Structure 1
Amino acid sequence: MDLLGTGRDADVFALDADRVLRRSRDGRSTAHEAATMRQLADLGYPLPRVHEASGAEIVMDRVDGPTLGEALLTGAVDTGDGAEVLAGLHRDLHAVTWPGAAAGDCLVHLDLHPLNVIMADRGPVLIDWTNARVGRPGLDVAVTVLVMVQVGLGDETLRDVLLSYSEEFAARVATPYAAELPEATAIRRANPHQTEAEAERFDEAVEITRRWA
């Protein structure tokens, strides 16, 4: 298998021209993620189709195209259009009627940032559903803003683009998130895949995220 990409907690391999295999490096089961993705695919949400899942591995459709993050950095997508792409993915996901969700809750992705959006020919496709669960829509938005601000503060090469983009997204997304920011902060603080630079700027990232709420 050819290695296509590697993230902070998983590696993606090409199986053939149409399928990829993603393997979690911590060995956690992909069963819940696969079931969630299959349900969402049946409802028409833009994500890769799952073929099979076993243990830490999940086989799904290969989706070609740059990530939204890459498109923003190269200028292929401007800040405003990119913010609308991310806001639209939030809006459409939170509008899905999800089985078992209490009133006011919905399915939340909890890692919906530009590197998890592939700009495919058919439109934006959202990947990496590892953290998806039922929750408040504002929690999803709060995590998105906090992640982007923290990554931007932790990497000088990305700082200007990501902070500008994050502020634009926070201004465009219709979902208020101030009430869910404490929970988002706890989720992000517990994430073991933060870089040292991101962890050092954590409190500053939280303050900026709060200011934009």
Structure 2
Amino acid sequence: MEIGELVGTGRTADVFALDDGRVLRRYRDGADGTGELAVMAHLAEHGYPVPAVWPGEAANELVMERLSGVTMRQALTDGTIAPERAGEMSAELLRRLHTVPARLSANPGDRVLHLDFHPENVMLTAEGPIVIDWATTAEGPPGLDSAMTALILAQAAVTMPAVAAVARAVLTPLVRHLGSIDETHLAAARARRAANPTLSREEVDRLDDAMALIRSAGTSTPRRR
């Protein structure tokens, strides 16, 4: 396995091309990817669209199929997908994910959660959308995942001028197709984001503005769902 060029980089990992047409995802902080691999295999067994994945040579490495396509964010920037459709598709993918039973939890209400679902983590391929980057995956109530996605989009809208308009445009149809966002789950999502060490000071400081943006759209409710 010969490691080639750097083809992608995120907040915590780098992705390198391999000589066999696959890619290597390597965590810069040495994080163990074993759990992520197990979750992706579990999702694939239940028919959820994730890349094929294999163990790497080290615990902080995963080998994955190289997908052909663009991220949803790129498609939004290029205008090849409308924000309305992107919001609808994101809601569809979240609802579909939340039909997959938990792998470990004995709580019948728990499901597999992504917890970092946003347009950069959806690849649009000829075979359909495929969800990538399962580093933050956990098990729990589906409403937390929905709240986290809404909050990530709202944060982008208030802290990233280059994509603010698009983020706002996607947020509205997303929450309309998901239904209202529960206040308890929204508060839990805020706490998780505030504790995320990869966020900038501005991103943390603007969390309340992001929460207000979600509420101003009438997307929250005091009742648990």
User: TM-score w.r.t. structure 2 length?
Assistant: 0.89
Residues 1:40 and 2:47 are matched in the alignment = no
Residues 1:85 and 2:89 are matched in the alignment = yes
Match of 1:28 among 28, 31, 35: 31
Summarize deviations over 1:51-78 as a string: whole Å, max 9, x none.
Answer: 2133111111111211001111111000
Separation of aligned partners in 2, 1:109 and 1:9? 16
Residues 1:19 and 2:22 are matched in the alignment = yes
Task: Give RMSD over aligned pairs.
Answer: 1.5
Residue type matched to 2:9 in 1?
Answer: T
Aligned residue for 1:3, secondary structure, equals: strand
The corresponding residue for 1:73 is 77
Shift of 1:179: 2.5
Separation of aligned partners in 2, 1:19 and 1:166? 33
Query: Is the Cα contact below 8 Å between 2:84 and 2:169 reproduced in 1?
Result: no
Residues 1:61 and 2:57 are matched in the alignment = no
Separation of aligned partners in 2, 1:175 and 1:14? 41
Summarize deviations over 1:23-81 as a string: whole Å, max 9, x none.
Answer: 11111100000011111111111000112133111111111211001111111000111
In structure 2, the gaps of 5 or more residues are 221-225
The corresponding residue for 1:154 is 159
Aligned residue for 2:70, secondary structure, equals: coil
Aligned residue for 2:130, secondary structure, equals: strand
Query: Is the Cα contact below 8 Å between 1:94 and 1:137 reproduced in 2?
Result: yes
In structure 1, the gaps of 5 or more residues are none
Q: Percent identity?
A: 39
Shift of 1:195: 2.6
Shift of 1:196: 3.6
Separation of aligned partners in 1, 2:172 and 2:106? 30
Residues 1:115 and 2:120 are matched in the alignment = yes
